[in-house]
Amino acid sequence: MALPGRDNRGPCYWCFKTVKWIPVLFIVTIVAWSYYAYVIELSLGTVETAVKQVLYLIFYHIFLFTFVWSYWQTIFTSSNRVPNKYKIPDEDYEAYTSHADSFETQNAILESFAMHLPITNITIGGGVRFCEKCRIVKPDRAHHCSVCEACILKMDHHCPWINNCVSFANYKFFVLFLGYALFILYICIPYHSSIFYFILEVINGDLSGMGKFHILFLFFVAVMFGVSLMSLFGYHCYLVCENRTTLESFRPPSFRGVGEDKYGFHLGKYRNFQEVFGEDPKTWFLPITTSLGDGIEYPVHSRHQQSYHSMDNTQNSLGDGLTFPQRRLDEDREGLLCEQRFEDDSHYYS
């Protein structure tokens, strides 16, 4: 059955879809112009020694390549959608809508359907997390995106600068995109070159013509974008270490029998890092898919282990016969993940 609102896509819909690409085109334009300013006007047209020119160009192109690669992956990696097994049958949905005045009856219908689904998160009111627009029981950490018109696995936020949701599928690429962009702005451009020539212009007036304009504007663009990128990149590094999404940092997930717990998915900083970047250090900083899990089931702290309805699914096995959540939970039982103690809510993990 088609989802509501998807049968009447007129000119306004496609116009809106086109407009959403404007921020991406703006970023691409800035990158293209900065390439000209840095390579042509600065490195080749202003830097005097050949050694400096080669060094500037080598380092710049290395990090520009990884930046563009990460940005491409962030934009064009499709957000994982919720599998069909989470969508309730039509008869159940009709029974659900016919009891709109009774939360208990509606929740009982959802509980019956979700009995064998591996979910631990619940609503603040203690009910099953259900999306009426998509007619699905939400997996852990999944949320509905009103822009994408779908429920997205481990949704962090919808970013207009990539015209895509930042989610389980592309979160690693998004963090790398921020990191490489910051590295280019603060190291390859301002530190090695633009600041030096900016000072020359202000103090000595050594630069002239259009080269002066491009280099000065390059400096101001680097500073303007660098300040915002530094705070955003630092914030997402913090989220990676805490194993949270942006949405979860504003509203901690709720667990059965416990309630809200901002440390519910915290496995220790190193394990949290591995969930996003994988277990192989050689691939950590490459924009290729290495994140652990399937975006549906997540390892939780031992406090919430009893919340899983089913752990029989082995589609996400890592080669040892155990699913990703099982593997982490077994490690937790052995005490490998219990070494982490938290200053906040320390009574949870004593």
Provide the annotated active-site residues.
159
**Alpha helix (H) residue ranges in the chain:** 11-19, 22-35, 50-76, 90-98, 103-113, 171-183, 195-199, 209-242, 246-250, 269-277, 324-333
What's the token pair of residue 305? 């282990």
CA–CA separation, 143 vs 79, rounded Å? 12
Tell me the Ramachandran region of residue 150: left when phi exceeds 0, alpha when psi lies from -120 to 50, beta otherwise: beta
Distance separating alpha carbons of residues 185 and 227, to the nearest angstrom: 10
Phi, psi dihedral angles at 151 (to 5 degrees): -85, 130
- Cα dihedral 45, 51, 55, 61, rounded to 10, equals 50
Q: Which residue has the tokens 């690429």?
A: 173
Q: Do 261 and 253 meet the contact criterion of CB atoms below 8 Å apart?
A: yes
Q: Look at the chain and count its residues.
A: 350
Task: Tell me the helices (H) and strands (E) count for the chain, helix number first.
Answer: 11, 9
